[in-house]
Amino acid sequence: MKVFRYAFITFIALTILWIDLPGPIPINVGLFGKRIKTEIPLLELNFQLGKSRVIRNFRTQLGLDLRGGSHLVFQTDTSRIDMADLEDALQSTRDIIEQRVNLFGISEPEVRTIKSGNVHRISVDLPGVYNVAQASQLIGQTAQLHFREEAEKLSPDASGSAVFNSLIKETGLTGKDVKKARVDFNNNNGTPQVALAFTPAGAKLFAQITKRNVGKPVGIFLDELLISAPTVQQEIIGGNAVISGNFTTEGAKQLAIAINSGALPVPISLIEQRSIGPSLGAIEVQKSVVAGAIGLGMVMLFMIGYYGRLGVLASVALITYGLINLAIFRAVPIVLTLPGVAGFILSIGMAVDSNILIFERIKEEQRKGKTFEVSIRLGFGRAIDAIKDANLTTMLVAFILFNPLNWEFLPQFGLVRGFALTLGIGVATSLFTGVVITNWLIKVFYKQKK
Amino acid sequence: MINFLKYWRQYATISVIVIGIGLFALVRWGFTYSIDFVGGTNVQYSFDTPIDEPSIREVVGRLQYEIVDMSVEKNEVSMRLTAINEQQEQQLRQELSDYYQSEITIIRSETVGPVIGAETLQKTGIAAIIAIIGILLYVTYAFRNLNFAMAAIVALVHDAVVVVGTYALFSHFLGAQLDTLFVTALLTTMSFSVHDTIVVFDQIRDYRKHYGAGKIEEYANRALTETMVRSLNNSFTIMFMLLALVLLGGSSIRFFALALLVGTITGTYSSPFVATPEAVWFEKMRG
């Protein structure tokens, strides 16, 4: 039985260490005259579980404030939406925004609906995006594609502006008839253009329009903006068309996204934005790591200086605590924000408390003339009540601040939650490491000595 | 055993002085609220060339944006403005970039609408009230003794007032802003205050269990003697971590860490020197 227990503990310990690895570790050793060159890769899960595939890596997830990016909150204007359709309208608005953002090639965006009283908001997190004006434009545009033809009474004119002015008759063909728009490159000169594929109904309509407008221009409008007014050469059957203009690749991409996603069902406006440049985040990460390391070093020096051998054990327990916590952050995963890091650092300071309480009680028992062995047993027993009681209040506050049920009358913003989460996890973990691991270390350490 | 309780007048004097200074600062200068609570725009830009404050003020003035606060350091500027929208922010960047003929790197740009600010203030307030009620209920439950619970609460209020008052000083002299993180620090302080008090009271409870209802002063003094080292050591370790954060950590959490540091110090101080004398007093008065 004992063998199994040790095997299990070793397995858990190795897994935790593996998750915590900062990077792949190269191995280059000579063994029996042969050189072995390989590396320990980072832990990654990739397996089939029933029908779904599990792919997970274990890297530290940094929040927008640490890796840079923008956090946007849009207020929705739901005044013209029926109560019955509200949920649907908000959901599809959310989905369209997500689609637009995804199509624009932003990695790991997060789009959420937030309810606050009877106000609905949509929050959008965009890692790596710093130009808020541009991002907000992309998200909030209400672009709708129209095809217009010349009004019959006006005769075609040579000048461009007249053409534009004459293109006022709606053909009834709109973005809704477009099945898919994508960026394409012109076969002749390689300039970017947007290729449209119509739905069957749209294809029929488009064929009719082109048929009756041979030799005349047809205007393609985005809202009221004329994008292109090609002159029809012949009737186009088959349901494909190309919009060419003076596009940059980026411009063509944006247009394709706009056409694909159509108009937002609910009008939105930006009411809050926070964007943090990448340099600031990197500096703060570095500073936090240094501060954490120096603080930890000071705590360990202090503990060893004051408690001697027991202090060494406490330091080992503390490092174990840090490693377990990091593994939890990576495995859950927990998105680390700057206040989150502060919560973690604070919890390290608090974690030592369990050790100090235990050690002081042990010393107290020893002063009463009990043997070391008995003192340890009694000291632990007496300390645990106080440790439990004392840590519960911290967990209680962390719980309320984290707002796990997402109650709308409590804060729902990231920074406070980040702090509460890491502090709560930290305290919970310290209950475990402070008591179990210290106890275990003392037993192992002192048994061997005897 | 040290007779800690004998010096209760000195403890009371220290508390009154610290709280007095803090309250004076609070009434005299008040707080600067961050954009979290009142809305507004914070921007921080970095330029390729050195910049100067008057020119930037002029450019901003031309756009008719209202500056609340501004600081310039070499080629970096941070400004707080009354809320502008993202298009206006882009325009501001454009104008500044044109003026200095320099690329601008956005270090930080934040805008909070006034509506959101008011809402955040309200929600944070509710969270704080719920947390305080939760702590009170827990304390009452943990001791099953109203006198001890009331003493712990007096200490908790003491610590909260110290942190708020001290922050008013930081706000006036160091430019700290009252934001959501400060409220978080305040609540953490409250939980720590109780945490620390519980350890002392737990010891008194222990003596009562073992030796029966004897003289409360003697138990209290003994408990204080026994727990003092633990209490100090524990606070030292937390203070090491927080000091490292204050001195070396990122600028955006500096005042947060500082508030937590003050909270830790007062939380440690209040357990033996406020909560315990109070508890003894309550026990003797009310029996």
Structure tokens at B37: 């609570």
The DSSP H or E segment spanning B262 is helix B254-270
Cβ-based neighbour number of residue B270 at 10 Å: 25
State the pLDDT at residue A159: 47
Share of chain A above pLDDT 70, in %: 89
On whether both A72 and A109 belong to a single domain, the answer is yes
Q: Are B274 and B202 in contact (CB under 8 A)?
A: no
On whether both A423 and A390 belong to a single domain, the answer is yes
Highest mean pLDDT among A221-235, A399-413, B38-52: B38-52
Mean pLDDT of B205-233: 83
On whether both A300 and A442 belong to a single domain, the answer is yes
Domain boundary among A236, A261, A286: A261
Q: Please, which pLDDT band fits residue A406 given cuts at 50, 70 and 90?
A: low
Given a cut of 80, whether residue A415 has pLDDT beyond it is no
Contact check, Cβ <8 Å, A356/B237: yes
Q: Please, which pLDDT band fits residue A116 given cuts at 50, 70 and 90?
A: confident
Mean pLDDT of A415-424: 83
Distance from CA of B58 to the nearest CA of A (A): 23
Range of the domain at A138: 64-142+265-274
Q: Please, which pLDDT band fits residue B166 given cuts at 50, 70 and 90?
A: very high
On whether both A75 and A21 belong to a single domain, the answer is no
Q: How far apart are CA B139 and CA B147, in angstroms?
A: 11
Closest by CA position to A220, among listed A281, A154, A171: A171
CATH code for the domain in which residue A112 is found: 3.30.70.3400
On whether both A411 and A297 belong to a single domain, the answer is yes
Q: Please, which pLDDT band fits residue B179 given cuts at 50, 70 and 90?
A: confident
Contact check, Cβ <8 Å, B113/A271: yes
Mean pLDDT of A385-409: 76
Give the model confidence (pLDDT) of A165-187 as tens digits: 567 777 878 777 887 888 888 88
On whether both A324 and A211 belong to a single domain, the answer is no
CATH code for the domain in which residue A432 is found: 1.20.1640.10
Please name the amino acid found at residue A166.
S
On whether both A292 and A410 belong to a single domain, the answer is yes
Q: Are B31 and B171 in contact (CB under 8 A)?
A: yes
Cβ-based neighbour number of residue A188 at 10 Å: 6
The per-residue b/e assignment along A299-336, b for 16 or more CB within 10 angstroms, e otherwise, is bbebbbeebeebbebbbbbbebbbbbbbbbbbeeebbb
On whether both A292 and A419 belong to a single domain, the answer is yes
Q: Are B135 and A396 in contact (CB under 8 A)?
A: yes
Mean pLDDT of B132-160: 84
| B107 three-state secondary structure | strand
Structure tokens at A311: 């202090």
Outline where DSSP puts E strands in A199-314: 218-222, 225-228, 240-243, 268-276
Q: How far apart are CA B202 and CA B272, in angstroms?
A: 13
CA angle B54, B55, B60 (to 5 degrees): 100
Residue A108: DSSP 8-state: S
On whether both A160 and A119 belong to a single domain, the answer is no
Distance from CA of B57 to the nearest CA of A (A): 22
Chain CA centroid to CA B185, Å: 5
Pick the residue with more confidence: B107 or A40? B107
State the pLDDT at residue A396: 83
| Residue pairs between chains A and B whose CB atoms are closer than 8 Å | 214
- Separation in Å, CA A428 to CA A321, A392, A421, B74, B190: 11, 9, 11, 45, 18
Domain boundary among A274, A300, A328: A274
Residues of A in contact with B109 (CB under 8 A): 130, 132, 273-275
A385-394, B54-63, B114-123: segment of lowest average pLDDT:
A385-394
Closest by CA position to A100, among listed A138, A157, A152, A43: A138
State the pLDDT at residue A412: 61
Asked if A208 reaches chain B (Cβ–Cβ under 8 Å), the answer is no
Residues of B in contact with A349 (CB under 8 A): 237-242
The DSSP H or E segment spanning A396 is helix A372-402
The DSSP H or E segment spanning A53 is strand A52-57
Residue B49: DSSP 8-state: S
Asked if A284 reaches chain B (Cβ–Cβ under 8 Å), the answer is yes
State the pLDDT at residue B287: 60
Closest by CA position to B176, among listed B229, B244, B254: B254
On whether both A431 and A305 belong to a single domain, the answer is yes
Q: Are B177 and B69 in contact (CB under 8 A)?
A: no
Mean pLDDT of A281-293: 86
Pick the residue with more confidence: A333 or B167? B167
Distance from CA of A450 to the nearest CA of B (A): 28
Domain boundary among A249, A274, A299: A274
Give the model confidence (pLDDT) of A186-235 as tens digits: 888 888 888 888 888 888 888 888 888 888 888 887 766 677 777 787 78
Distance from CA of A172 to the nearest CA of B (A): 34
On whether both A303 and A432 belong to a single domain, the answer is yes
Contact check, Cβ <8 Å, B250/A131: no
The DSSP H or E segment spanning B61 is helix B53-62
What HEC string does B109-152 produce? EEEECHHHHHHHHHHHHHHHHHHHHHHHHHHHHHHCCHHHHHHH
Asked if A299 reaches chain B (Cβ–Cβ under 8 Å), the answer is yes
Asked if A88 reaches chain B (Cβ–Cβ under 8 Å), the answer is no
Q: Where are the domains of chain B?
A: 4-35+116-286, 40-112
Closest by CA position to A331, among listed A44, A2, A4: A44
Q: How far apart are CA A331 and CA A236, in angstroms?
A: 56
Q: How far apart are CA B135 and CA B194, in angstroms?
A: 8
- Separation in Å, CA B106 to CA A68, B39, B47, B77, B99: 10, 20, 9, 10, 16
Asked if A32 reaches chain B (Cβ–Cβ under 8 Å), the answer is no
Q: Are B35 and B42 in contact (CB under 8 A)?
A: yes
- Separation in Å, CA B96 to CA A34, B99, B102: 64, 5, 8
Given a cut of 80, whether residue B277 has pLDDT beyond it is yes
- Separation in Å, CA B147 to CA A392, B227, B286: 20, 20, 8
Find, in chain B, the residue whose alpha carbon is nearest to that of A288: B249
Fold of B40-112: Alpha-Beta Plaits (3.30.70)
Residues of A in contact with B236 (CB under 8 A): 302
Residues of A in contact with B111 (CB under 8 A): 272-274
Share of chain A above pLDDT 90, in %: 2
Please report, to the nearest 10 degrees, the dihedral formed by the alpha carbons of residues A355, A356, A362, A363 taken in order.
Answer: 150
Given a cut of 50, whether residue A158 has pLDDT beyond it is no
φ, ψ (nearest 5 deg) of residue A425: -65, -40
CATH of B4-35+116-286 given 1.20.1640.10, 1.10.1200.10, 1.10.240.10, 3.40.640.10:
1.20.1640.10
Domain count, chain A: 4
φ, ψ (nearest 5 deg) of residue A141: -65, 145
On whether both A149 and A98 belong to a single domain, the answer is no
Please report, to the nearest 10 degrees, the dihedral formed by the alpha carbons of residues A246, A251, A254, A255 taken in order.
Answer: -10
Question: Would strands A119-127 and A110-116 be described as parallel, antiparallel, or unpaired?
Answer: antiparallel
The per-residue b/e assignment along B239-260, b for 16 or more CB within 10 angstroms, e otherwise, is bbbbbbbbebbbebbbbbbbbb
Closest by CA position to A61, among listed A241, A326, A364: A326
Residues of B in contact with A398 (CB under 8 A): 191
Given a cut of 50, whether residue A450 has pLDDT beyond it is no
Q: How far apart are CA A187 and CA A202, in angstroms?
A: 25
Given a cut of 70, whether residue A142 has pLDDT beyond it is no
